[in-house]
Amino acid sequence: MAVPTTMRAIELAGIGGPEALRLTNRLVPAPKSGEVLIRVEATGVNRVDIIQRTGAYTPPYGVTDIPGVEIAGTIAALGPDVADHRVGDRVCALVIGGGYAEYCAVPAPQVLPLPGGYDMVRAAAIPETLFTVWTNMFDHGRFATGETILIHGGASGIGTTAIAMAHEFGARAVFVTAGSAEKCAACDRLGVTRSINYRLEDFVRIVREQTKGRGVDVILDMVAGNYVPRNLSCLAPDGRLVLLGLMSGTREIEINASQIMMNRLSVTGSSLRGQSIAQKTRIAQALENQVWPKLAAGRMAPVIDTVLPLERASDAHRRLEGGHHVGKVVLTLV
């Protein structure tokens, strides 16, 4: 496959609103040792892209400034020392940046085959979410069959995936919070035990009622802030609170640490982007073994909210920031 020297890409013309995203021409990256070059056909839009656009996240030294952390496409070239991929393979991948472009260089272990029956749009909608949900729910949250889980932001991309994952891996009960009746209805259609409209109901009270006062085993929370002490109040003994975002900000929060000790709780959190390639490789292997067959069998599927061409990246960000989406926003490049 002939690889051109330049490509279309979206860059940040300064820090700011969605209008800061600008279509431009860039040099096609050269795959380094252990990397593959992917001809991108679709790329998922994520909250971390918005955080980068507003200047709250700066890519580390050596990482492209082009946003975008998940892609699907075709392998166009191999860097040195890549054994188990071939030019022409149809793949999807988690990337540390550079997804909003026609070509993207990726560490080979982060590249996964397209799940059986998947097109590029659906395949581009899954890596960031599945890597995030897997590592937080299983590696950090140590979720086990027969346990109960509370998922905040149940209608988000992370939320809908976590709901499906909880069902597939044997959750006894799945509780979610969401911010509108429509979003709660969407979660209910995914088969949750009880959706909670946080604008109308106190999730601590509902979860405690529904679990006969025991609380849940695992909570996935991307809100943090004042949710943290409330989460501690609805965890069961030996419960795990996993933070995967800070949507309510970074200010310090007062907690009662005796709740942690007396109930043997654990509070943890992670951002996927900061993890090593080795850790991402372990997650990729777990996903390919345990989740890809479920995707191919149709037992789990991404929820796609909107598909837009690359040049409408600004509209894609507006859609995500509007907060009315249910599921993923995806950009296409073909």
Partner 1 sequence: MALSETMTAVEITKPGGPEVLIAARRPVPTIKDGEILVRVLAAGVNRPDAMQRAGSYPPPAGVTDIPGLDVAGEVVAVRGAGPWQVGDRVCALVAGGGYAEYCAVPAPQALPVPKGLSAIEAASLPETVFTVWTNVYDRAHLKAGESLLVHGGASGIGVAAIQMAKATGATVYATAGSADKCRACESLGAAKAINYRDADFVTVIKELTQGRGVDVVLDMVAGDYIAKNLEVLAMDGRLSIIAFLRGHKAEVSFARVLMKRLSITGSALRPQSVAAKGAIAASLRRTIWPLIESGRIRAVIDTVYPLAEAAKAHARLESNAHVGKVMLEVAKE
Q: How many residues does the chain have?
A: 334
Residues 131-170 within binding reach of partner 1 (CB under 8 A): 140
Tell the burial category of 252 from Cβ atoms under 10 Å away from its Cβ (0-12, 13-18, 19+).
Answer: exposed
Q: How many CB atoms lie within 10 A of CB 306?
A: 17
Interaction between residue 266 and partner 1 (CB under 8 A): yes
Distance (Å, whole) CA 141 – CA 134:
9
Using CB under 8 A, count the residues that bind partner 1: 29
Distance (Å, whole) CA 150 – CA 177:
8
- Name the nearest CA neighbour of 92 among 230, 223, 287: 287
Chosen residue from 264, 285, 299, 309 binding partner 1 by CB under 8 A: 264
Complex with partner 1: residue 210 or 275, whichever CB lies closer: 275
- For the bound state, the minimum distance from the C-beta of residue 244 to partner 1, rounded and expressed in Å, comes to 8
Chosen residue from 5, 274, 289, 322 binding partner 1 by CB under 8 A: 274
Chosen residue from 76, 150, 265, 284 binding partner 1 by CB under 8 A: 265
Interaction between residue 113 and partner 1 (CB under 8 A): no
Tokens for 129, please give them.
Answer: 């979410």
Complex with partner 1: residue 26 or 273, whichever CB lies closer: 273
- For the bound state, the minimum distance from the C-beta of residue 143 to partner 1, rounded and expressed in Å, comes to 15
Hey, is 80 helix, strand or coil? coil
Interaction between residue 61 and partner 1 (CB under 8 A): no
Complex with partner 1: residue 35 or 128, whichever CB lies closer: 128
- Identify the DSSP state of 101: B
Interaction between residue 267 and partner 1 (CB under 8 A): yes
Chosen residue from 117, 271, 285, 293 binding partner 1 by CB under 8 A: 271
Residues 201-260 within binding reach of partner 1 (CB under 8 A): 224-225, 228, 243-246, 250, 252-258, 260
- CB of 71 closer than 8 Å to CB of 29: no
Hey, is 164 helix, strand or coil? helix
Phi, psi of 127 (to 5 degrees): -60, -55
- Contacts with partner 1 by CB under 8 A lie at 140, 224-225, 228, 243-246, 250, 252-258, 260-262, 264-271, 274-275
